[in-house]
Chains A and B, each alone.
Chain A
Amino acid sequence: QVHLQQSGRGLVKPSETLSLTCVVSGYDIRDGCYWGWIRQSPGKGPEWIGSIYEDGRTYHSPSLKSRISMSVDASKNQFSLNLTSMTAADTGTYYCARHGTLGNLGKFDFWGQGTVVSVS
């Protein structure tokens, strides 16, 4: 069974950088999927942040593109997100997830447990 375990600090000061990591087990991260990050503000729907392929190819949300960096560490079977210049508007729950293939990138079939992020 595929399992995604998130880690990272949940409390961030304004203007600081949020750093999250997602460790994948039960699946080789090099095995042909995209890996994504999604966030959800309190009481709102999910918002896609960005996605990365094993070879480093990325897609970013247009509204967050200038603040996002993502990476894959295949040796540790994990991928990471950095989101710079955090503000109160970035408060919410952040999820990592396994993406569909290029044929269906709106599909996320396995999710991490979520990290509650507060900017204060």
Chain B
Amino acid sequence: QSVLTQPPSASGTPGQRVTISCSGSSSNIETKSVNWYQQLPGTAPKLLIFSNNQRPSEVPDRFSGSKSGTSASLAISGLQSEDEADYYCASWDDGFNGRVLFGGGTKLTVL
């Protein structure tokens, strides 16, 4: 079981807005940056959001991130079929002399 907790699945119809949550603790999300990754089948994870709410230049502004306390969220607006993928949150954790944690992942289905 991951220390960063995500819902296993989420879904939406084209054009909708969906959010994916990531719950952690004071040793990770509350005090460290949160990052989000998108993974399509058979490919490496792709950085989607870094430092809580920053987007790499090539990522559409339909993707946004936020953080409050020990939780973070990824929002996808104007949902498109190509957004169907696995999404992971990640953060540094101060436990065990420091480690990177990934969430368990959320499978997004576009209906």
Contacts and interface: CB of A to CB of B under 8 A. Distances in A.
Interface of A: 36, 38, 44-48, 51, 59, 61-62, 95, 97, 100, 103-109, 111-114
Contact of B33 (A45, A103, A109): A103
Chain B, interface size category, equals: 20 to 34
A46 B97 CA distance: 20
Given A45-B103, A100-B50, A111-B45, A106 B97 contact: no
A33 to B, nearest CB: 13
A106 B44 contact: no
Q: Which 8 A-B pairs have the closest CB atoms?
A: A48-B100, A111-B44, A62-B96, A45-B105, A104-B33, A106-B90, A106-B91, A105-B92
Nearest to A46: B102
B35 interface: yes
A111 B90 CA distance: 15
B47 interface: yes
B47 A51 contact: no
Contacts of B98: 59, 105
Nearest to B46: A111
